[in-house]
Amino acid sequence: MPDTPSPCLLDARQMDVHLQRLCREIVAAFGNNESLALVGIRTRGLSLAERLAVMLQEILQKEIPLGALDITLYRDDLSELAGSPIVRPTEIPFSLKGHTLVLVDDVLFTGRTIRAAMDALLDHGRPTRIWLAALVDRGGRQLPIQADFMALKLEVPLDQRVSVKVKEIDGVDGVFMETRV
């Protein structure tokens, strides 16, 4: 939780511009030939995936299937996790088979969330391939995982926290830097 004023890395308008650009990069990479689907990692990755889905549908003029993933049950540090909130359902209302998936998260840090997300996804089916989109890559990886699409790439010291806020949950859009307590 923040105890110092949070420097703003992206404001609402900049965040929207970056998401638009992410969206165009995804379109450029896949064209309209692939059967594209998005899966957002709860909670804020899902909010971003919902926005990307709307943008992609506008550009590609077709339905983009959208799923929601809660990775808690697949975490590698579950037994050390004190005070985790109630795990919410994973909702993937389409068959993964034959789809090119773009996994969407807000901040890419150690890579462990993405490892857990891939394990969870593969238990739901066998997509053709999985790409990773993150709004912010803040460095500090502990696993060999990289983003295919990202808006902002930073090297942030470990005592700093990068937090993405979204209107639906936090009442405001933006990317902020906070000091860990």
Q: Kindly state whether residue 90 participates in binding other proteins, applying the rule CB under 8 A.
A: yes
37: β partners: 101
The answer to whether 132 and 147 are in contact (CB under 8 A) is yes
Rg (CA), the chain: 16
Stretch near other proteins under the rule CB under 8 A, chosen from 26-34, 84-92, 136-144, 156-164: 84-92
Q: Tell me which stretch binds other proteins (CB under 8 A): 2-10, 31-39, 48-56, 82-90.
A: 82-90
Per-residue mark of binding to other proteins, 16-55 (x: CB under 8 A): ----------------------------------------
| 78, 143, 158, 172: which one binds other proteins (CB under 8 A) | 78
Beta carbon nearer to other proteins, 24 or 75: 75
| Phi–psi pair at 46, nearest 5 degrees | -70, -40
Distance (Å, whole) CA 87 – CA 116 = 14
Sign of the CA dihedral running 29, 55, 57, 129: positive
Query: Candidates 28-36, 66-74, 98-106, 133-141 — which segment interacts with other proteins by CB under 8 A?
Result: 66-74
123 touches other proteins (CB under 8 A): yes
Tell whether residue 101 is a contact of other proteins (CB under 8 A): no
Q: Is 119 in the site for other proteins (CB under 8 A)?
A: yes
Q: Which of residues 129-148 bind other proteins (CB under 8 A)?
A: none
Answer for which of 87, 143, 158, 172 binds other proteins (CB under 8 A) is 87
Q: How far is the CB of 118 from other proteins (least distance, A)?
A: 13
Instruction: Identify the residue among 79, 144, 171, 181 touching other proteins (CB under 8 A).
Output: 79
C-alpha distances in angstroms, 161 versus 76, 142, 157? Answer: 21, 16, 8
Which residues make up the interface to other proteins (CB under 8 A)? Answer: 70, 72-74, 78-79, 81-91, 119-120, 123-125
